[in-house]
Structure 1
Amino acid sequence: MVTVDGLLRRENELAYEPEILAIGPYHHGKANLEMMEKHKIRYLQMYLVRTNESSVDRFVNAMQDLEEKTRKCYAESIVLEKDAFV
């Protein structure tokens, strides 16, 4: 995963701000992206049906194993509890 350096981000901050969809915890909780959160849940449910998965447990467990490594990919600290981050 690649993070955007602060100096580069300051050059054109809007270029690095999502307008509709954010993936990952960096923009978590921003009001302008809230609408898409419902769509992400719906897409996840559709994926589970399409792949004959009965729950998200397998994916959550995989992300729990990667949580610490993933946090290190961000230049800034992500202030979320472990479960919220995963």
Structure 2
Amino acid sequence: MSEDYKVVEIKILNEIYKFKVNEPQEVIDPILEEIKENVEDLSKKIGKQKVNHILLLLLLNEKLNNLIFKEKTQDLLNEYKEKIENLPNFYDTKSVL
């Protein structure tokens, strides 16, 4: 991650947003494009709300998905940790013989 900040710009629902970022353009551009598409799609579904309202809905959805992902990941880690702990200790000759 470079410390050189640059300004990126995106137009969503006729409003221009500018951000200073220090991530590579090839990382930022797809993210901004996805956000733009999501906002425009939601705008069509729920009506011409203020962009801020739609962005908050997207943020809420993203945070909920992130929480679900973290919980599922932790469940998987716990499951595999338990399985690994129950494996025989191959360095313990008593358990092998």
- TM over 0.5, shorter chain: no
Q: Which has the higher contact order (CA 8 A, sep 6+)?
A: 1
Name the structure with the higher helix share. Answer: 2
- Could you say which structure has the larger radius of gyration? 2
Name the structure with the higher strand share. Answer: 2
Normalising by structure 2, report the TM-score.
0.26
